[in-house]
């Protein structure tokens, strides 16, 4: 009697289904990175001690250059003598005016006594007094002109060029030295367009030669937006300890209430940038505030006090897959915070 073979199709399918249902679910490692708030975003810029506009100290009165005390590449203190001119004709006029002024003064004194005695008319007295006052004013004018033959620096001055030779006649308005007023020296940096929006949220420091940091005052700074979108920032100060054209490192630090994370950790949620964070045993989606985007990083105002962010999930590359795991397989999630 022939033996009939029984079909194994249904038992095999049943066994496969049983194994599938009883197999352990896949495990996904959600790796969170801690936000290091002790190390805010720090940017270093190279600056130079730049002077203001170039200007010159000119003669106000003509004369022969007899002395010059300013040398190239030297700083002339405020009030110090830069040069001395000789103008003999002006000095002669002043001496004659002094003599005439003395004479007019004596005449006025005599006329005053005569008026007290009633021996001189008012008209005659007024003429004598006018002659005295006229000569007094002329003498003062000539004295000021002679004083101008000694040329002084009105403020501290860095000399870059000198003009004229000893013994040469210098006409009124002729430059004697050229250079910079040290009070106008400044340090300037340029924030690239993608950093420009961070300016209100940063503190700036100058790194000294010994490596320490000195705070740069930002009060009164008026940044200038350049055509490229970059921001030109000038720190007003004298910076006496910095040499002209010396390379200076300026450090900009993001305020402590701002955080910076890799751009790869961020995703778009209805047009807004968001991250996942692990807090109180739960994974939360958080919308970021006041976002500033760089090439590979993103900064935001950490008003929600985030301490970590989701950096990666093993075997998952798309945000939609992460959403699916969070919604349908929460028991398959293993959390690591580093």
Residue 190 within a domain? yes
CB 305 within 8 A of CB 37: no
Supply the CATH number for residue 137's domain.
1.10.287
170 with 124, same domain: the answer is no
Q: Given this model, what pLDDT does residue 4 score?
A: 44
Supply the CATH number for residue 328's domain.
2.40.420.20
Q: Given this model, what pLDDT does residue 20 score?
A: 40
Model pTM? 0.50
First-last CA distance in the chain = 73
β-strands 42-50, 333-337: how paired?
unpaired
Residue that finishes a domain, picked among 148, 163, 194: 148
215 with 233, same domain: the answer is yes
Which residue segment(s) compose the domain that 160 sits in? 55-82+153-183
Residue 21 within a domain? no
Supply the CATH number for residue 231's domain.
2.40.30.170
Q: Name the DSSP class of 248.
A: E
262 with 324, same domain: the answer is yes
Q: Which two tokens stand for residue 18?
A: 């049983």
DSSP 184-244: G-EEEEEE-HHHHTTGGGEEEEEEPTTS-EEEPP-TT---EE-TTS-EEEEEE---TTS-T
Residue 323 within a domain? yes
Distance CA 41, CA 31 (A): 22
CB 201 within 8 A of CB 40: no
Residues (pLDDT < 50) of the chain are 1-24
277 with 134, same domain: the answer is no
262 with 332, same domain: the answer is yes
144 with 231, same domain: the answer is no
Residue 2 within a domain? no
How many CB atoms within 10 Å of residue 64?
Answer: 16
CB 83 within 8 A of CB 174: no
β-strands 202-207, 247-254: how paired?
antiparallel
Inter-axis angle of helices 88-116 and 122-147, to 10 degrees? 150
Residue 18 within a domain? no
Residue that finishes a domain, picked among 122, 148, 174: 148
243 with 276, same domain: the answer is no
Residue 311 within a domain? yes
Give Cβ neighbours of residue 320 (< 8 Å, ≥ 6 apart): none
Distance CA 9, CA 320 (A): 38
Residue 22 within a domain? no
175 with 125, same domain: the answer is no
36 with 46, same domain: the answer is no
Residue 320 within a domain? yes
Distance CA 8, CA 10 (A): 6
Residue that finishes a domain, picked among 217, 237, 254: 254
SS3 assignment, position 328: helix
CA 235 to chain centre: 3
DSSP 70-122: --TT-EEPTT-EEEEEE-HHHHHHHHHHHHHHHHHHHHHHHHHHHHHTT-S-H
Question: H or E stretch including 258?
Answer: strand 258-262
133 with 76, same domain: the answer is no
Q: Given this model, what pLDDT does residue 327 score?
A: 86
Give Cβ neighbours of residue 139 (< 8 Å, ≥ 6 apart): 94, 97, 98, 101
How many CB atoms within 10 Å of residue 63?
Answer: 26
Give Cβ neighbours of residue 52 (< 8 Å, ≥ 6 apart): 180, 181, 184, 185, 186
Predicted confidence (pLDDT) per residue in 171-228, tens digit: 999 999 998 877 667 778 888 887 777 787 788 888 888 888 888 877 667 788 888 8
Q: Give me the number of domains the chain comprises.
A: 4
- What b/e string do you get for 255-273 counting C-beta neighbours within 10 Å, with b at 16 or more? eeebbbbeeebbbeeeeeb
Predicted confidence (pLDDT) per residue in 138-154, tens digit: 999 999 999 999 999 98
Supply the CATH number for residue 171's domain.
2.40.50
Q: Which two tokens stand for residue 227?
A: 């055509």
Distance CA 77, CA 138 (A): 32
β-strands 247-254, 258-262: how paired?
unpaired
Work out the angle at residue 67's Cα, subtended by the Cα atoms of residues 92 and 168, and round it to the nearest 5 degrees.
Answer: 75
172 with 76, same domain: the answer is yes
332 with 281, same domain: the answer is yes
């Amino acid at each position: 009697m022939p033996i009939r073979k029984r079909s194994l199709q249904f038992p095999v399918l049943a066994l496969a289904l049983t194994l599938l249902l009883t197999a352990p679910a896949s495990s996904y490692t959600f790796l969170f990175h801690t936000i290091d708030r002790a190390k805010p975003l720090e940017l270093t810029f190279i600056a130079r001690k730049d002077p203001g506009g170039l200007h010159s100290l000119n003669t106000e009165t003509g004369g022969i250059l007899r002395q010059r005390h300013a040398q190239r590449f030297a700083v002339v203190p405020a009030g110090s003598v830069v040069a001395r001119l000789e103008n003999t004709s002006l000095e002669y006029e002043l001496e004659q005016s002094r003599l005439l002024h003395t004479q007019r003064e004596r005449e006025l004194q005599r006329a005053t006594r005569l008026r007290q005695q009633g021996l001189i008319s008012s008209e005659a007295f007024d003429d004598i007094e006018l002659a005295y006052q006229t000569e007094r004013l002329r003498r003062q004018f000539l004295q000021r002109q002679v004083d101008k033959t000694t040329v002084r620096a009105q403020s501290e001055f860095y000399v870059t060029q000198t003009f004229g030779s000893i013994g040469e006649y210098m006409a009124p308005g002729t430059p004697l030295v050229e250079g910079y007023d040290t009070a106008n020296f400044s340090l300037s940096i340029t924030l690239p367009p993608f950093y420009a929006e961070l300016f209100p949220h940063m503190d700036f420091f100058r790194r000294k030669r010994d490596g320490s940091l000195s705070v740069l005052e930002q009060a009164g700074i008026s940044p200038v937006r350049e055509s490229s979108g970059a921001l030109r920032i000038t720190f007003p100060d004298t910076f006496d300890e910095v040499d002209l054209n010396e390379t200076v490192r300026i450090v900009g630090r993001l305020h402590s209430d701002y955080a910076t994370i890799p751009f790869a950790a961020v995703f778009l949620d209805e047009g807004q940038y968001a991250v996942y964070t692990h807090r109180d045993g739960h994974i939360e989606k958080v919308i970021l505030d006041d976002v500033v985007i760089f090439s590979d990083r993103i900064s935001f105002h950490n008003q929600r006090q985030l301490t970590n962010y989701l950096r990666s999930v093993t075997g998952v590359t798309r945000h939609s897959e992460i959403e699916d795991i969070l919604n349908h397989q929460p028991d398959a999630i293993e959390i690591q915070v580093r």
